[in-house]
Each structure stands twice: as C-alpha cells, then as structure tokens.
Amino acid sequence: MCVLTRDVARIIEDHTIICILHIKKRAVIKNILLILTLSTSLIAGQAKKFDFNVTTPMEYTAVEEVPLTDEELRNRVLYANLIGAAVVLGWGTINWDYFTSDPVMADEGWFGDDTKYGGADKLGHIYSTYVLSLGFASLYEYWGMKEEESMIYGPLSSWFFQGIMEIGDSFSDTQGFSYEDIIMNTVGAGFYYVREKYPSVKEKLDLRLEYIPELSEEDPFTQYNNMKFLLALKFSGFESMESNFLRYGELHLGYYSRGYHNYYDYEQKERVVYVGVGINVSEVLASMGWIKTSKVFNYYQLPYTYVPFGYDFDSDSYVAPYSRPYRGYRK
C-alpha cells in the first residue's frame, strides 16, 4: 500500500521547518518569500486526501484516508509550534548572537527620518506576519482543521513565531526587544483574521508586496530599497462593478522608502506615501481561467501595472508617476 497523503503531510511538515530555519530577524522579508511559496502551493493544492491501494498493475482503488482525531490534530499543531520555536532559538544561538547579553529593549522608532529603514521594516513585519498566518492556516486546514478554527490558530502561530524571534533579539548584543515590531506583528495577524472572518473584506481588500530584487546584492531578502507595501481596494468586490469592465480596476494606498538601507550608496533619502489607480491582475487572470495562478497576485503586486501619485516626506515634494528611479537615487 502506498499512503501518499501521509508522505505529503510529512513533506509539508519538513518544508515548514526548513522555512523556519531560514527565518532571520534582520532579513524579515526572507520568511515572506519562503512561506509565500508554501502558502501558494497549499492554496493551489486543495485536493481531497486519498490513499491509493495498489491491487494490480495500472489498477488503483481510491480509499479516503481516516481523518485525524481532535487530539491528534491538537498534538500535531502543538508539536509543530514547539519544534519550530526550538529550531529558531537554537539556530539563533548558534549562528546569530542570541543569548550573548542580558535582555535589553530597542527603541527603533516608526517611520521617522532617523530610523534605520525609514519605516519599511515595520510594514515588512505586518506583511510577513500576515503571509505567515496564511501559511499556517492553510497547513492546519490541510491537516483537517475546520476553517473557522484555522483562521484563529493560523495567525496565533504566526504571531508566536515572530514573538519568539523578538525574544531572541532581546538577548542579542546587536538587536534588542522591539515593542514596535510586536505591535506591527499584531496588526498583521489581526488583519489576516479580519479578512478571513468577513468575506466582504477579503473580496475588497488585499495587502501586497511589490518587489523587484537586485541580483547583485548579497542578500535578496533585505532589499528595502527595492520594495513597496500597499493596500489594494478591488472594484470586483463591489456588486455595482463586479459584472462590468470596472471589476478589473483597483485603487492603491502604498508606502516605500529609498536610500535608508545602505544610505552611503545613495544621494538622497526618500519616504513616499502614494495613491494609485491600477489593474487587478488577479481578476484578469481569473477571468482567463488561470484561477490558481491568479491567487498569487492577491499577495504580490506586479510592478508597472498601476499609475501612482506620491508625496515624499524627505524632500517635502510631490512625486509624479514614474518620475524617479525605481531603486532610488544612487551615487
């Protein structure tokens, strides 16, 4: 007998732990891409779970797998969280500088011009916790958890893992515990819950990351100079527009910073808030029958598919659409 689903479950569990191994606080966007890959595969693979009993060559009898009991499910979720937490702390102790000092607080600030990343890292915390929530909730549903429960335990697990890293940072010589990060993690987990709890919100609002990585950079996961974070208001979520061509449109409210990370390579700093009018790529692809692929673009914003109008707080000036270099003014 070839029990495919149990093998698949083990693979997913292993993949989740591998993702967690590569999470690094200083590279907070790293877990975004890793868990986004996991989440997308889970969303795309909402197939029923079967065992296949091989009787004769080329003959298979589908037998539905016995679901986990409530106790087995609780234990699997608990052990996955505890093992993951131990891995994160162990990895941080061996490879980073966890537990090298007494616990300290870090005053990182929010979006000021005296902050390390101009606030982009704070939005990174919101987004990473949000997408981690999706990954955990999808995994728990795959294991047999009810949707109304996964939308609670998914963001709780995400918040827990982010919190574990924050605790490790508090015992670090170079980091420190950041209450700002904890608040942003809470916002990300809360937004996921609200979006899943109320379908009308999910139909209308997306939280997305726009990112064009630069291959010449050593670490592709901390390139805040190449990232933008945004909320998208989708016209397709409104009854008055869902049946006409307006359903392919959307409005954006976004933020990005340039020249803060690796500031010595830039001529000037930028902290830009913008509004935009764009194309709902997910809706376009769904209308073409690419349903699974379209889901990716509820979380990733395809560059140059909208027209932005921004305001730069560093230069106190308005920013016309695409009037500045995408990656900022480099020396």
Given a cut of 70, is residue 23 above it in pLDDT? no
pLDDT of residue 6: 43
Please provide the average confidence, as pLDDT, over all residues in the chain: 82
Of 171, 11, 207, which Cα lies nearest the Cα of 89? 171
Q: Collapsing DSSP states into helix, strand and coil, what is residue 224?
A: helix
Residue 321 corresponds to which tokens in the numbers above? Answer: 């659409």
Express as a percent the part of the chain with pLDDT over 70. Answer: 79
67: CB partners within 8 A, 6+ apart: 144
pLDDT of residue 168: 86
Backbone angles phi, psi at 143, to 5 degrees: -75, -10
Given a cut of 50, is residue 322 above it in pLDDT? yes
Average pLDDT over residues 175-187: 92
Given a cut of 80, is residue 2 above it in pLDDT? no
Domain boundaries, the chain: 1-197, 204-331
Average pLDDT over residues 251-268: 93
Of 256, 306, 313, which Cα lies nearest the Cα of 280? 306
Q: Facing residues of 253 across strands?
A: 231, 275
Q: pTM score, two decimals?
A: 0.80
Question: What is the Cα–Cα distance from 42 to 19, expressed in whole angstroms?
Answer: 14
What are the pLDDT digits (tens) for 33-63?
444 444 444 443 444 333 444 444 555 555 5
- Biggest alpha carbon distance in the chain? 74
Higher pLDDT, 313 or 44: 313
Higher pLDDT, 18 or 185: 185
